[in-house]
């Protein structure tokens, strides 16, 4: 789903009955407490609603009711929730063009089937030069397998614009190399702006100022 929940201070809790004896009942709403979301996301940076790895990188455990492969293990390639639909379609034997013919104006799924990864732990899910984008609650990123351009919501995370990280050598985003790689920043920024334009992305921070 997402990284560790860090929103306990963002919601009114006046109606919750959090007495010890009521914890777990429908009327309770209990969190771990301040700073524990950060601990739960270790070794990654930040938590739910952030575009940093602590907000978006989680394990995905799959058990199929039918045997797809005799191989079991871990595939470390990038996947997203968008991949579940095309995976189920393939398992059901439904071709994409049966649901989305060429003439269709429906929004087509943007995910990739996970079946190759189920059959081979080393199989890629996406093309080699694939770019992925995310935007939620004012946080956003553009990334490849190696590079990630990320900005978390300035109003929530006190960030100051784009940051650049090499996910191959710095997967927990500790060393911002934005200034050292302007050419990579430009490519990722241009790709993100095109994605935002094509998908009607609203600038959350600017919208909130209105």
CA distances 85 to 94, 115, 209, Å, are 11, 12, 36
Helix residue ranges per DSSP H, the chain? 36-40, 53-56, 84-91, 96-99, 115-119, 154-157, 182-198, 204-209
Q: For residue 143, what is the domain's CATH number? A: 3.30.1120.10
Q: Are 147 and 188 in contact (CB under 8 A)?
A: yes
Q: Are 157 and 68 in contact (CB under 8 A)?
A: no
pLDDT tens, position by position, 6-62: 655 556 667 889 899 999 999 988 777 777 777 788 888 888 888 999 889 988 888
> Domain for residue 144, yes or no?
yes
pLDDT tens, position by position, 76-85: 889 999 999 9
For 70-97, what is the mean pLDDT? Answer: 86
Q: Does pTM top 0.75 for this prediction?
A: yes
> Domain for residue 181, yes or no?
yes
Length of the chain measured in residues: 210
- Work out how many domains the chain is built from and give that number: 1
Domain residue limits at 157: 30-58+128-209
> Domain for residue 4, yes or no?
no
> Domain for residue 94, yes or no?
no
What is the C-alpha end-to-end distance of the chain, expressed in Å?
Answer: 31
């Amino acid at each position: 789903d997402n990284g560790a929940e860090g929103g306990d201070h963002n919601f009114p809790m006046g109606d919750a009955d959090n007495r010890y004896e009521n914890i777990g009942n429908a009327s309770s709403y209990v969190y771990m407490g301040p700073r524990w979301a950060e601990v739960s996301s270790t070794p990654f940076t930040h938590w739910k609603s952030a575009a940093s790895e602590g907000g978006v990188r989680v394990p995905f455990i799959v058990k199929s009711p039918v045997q797809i492969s005799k191989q079991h293990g871990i595939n470390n390639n990038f996947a997203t929730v968008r991949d579940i639909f095309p995976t189920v379609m393939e398992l059901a034997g439904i071709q994409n063009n049966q649901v989305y013919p060429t003439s269709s104006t429906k929004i087509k799924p943007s995910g990739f089937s996970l079946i190759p990864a189920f059959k081979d732990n080393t199989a890629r899910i996406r093309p080699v030069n694939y770019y992925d984008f995310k935007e939620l609650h004012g946080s956003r990123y553009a990334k490849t397998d190696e590079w990630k351009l990320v900005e978390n919501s300035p109003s929530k995370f006190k960030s100051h614009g784009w940051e650049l990280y090499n996910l191959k050598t710095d997967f927990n985003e500790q060393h911002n190399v934005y200034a050292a790689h302007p050419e990579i920043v430009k490519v990722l920024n241009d790709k993100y702006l095109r994605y935002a334009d094509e998908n009607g992305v609203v600038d959350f921070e600017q919208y909130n100022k209105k």
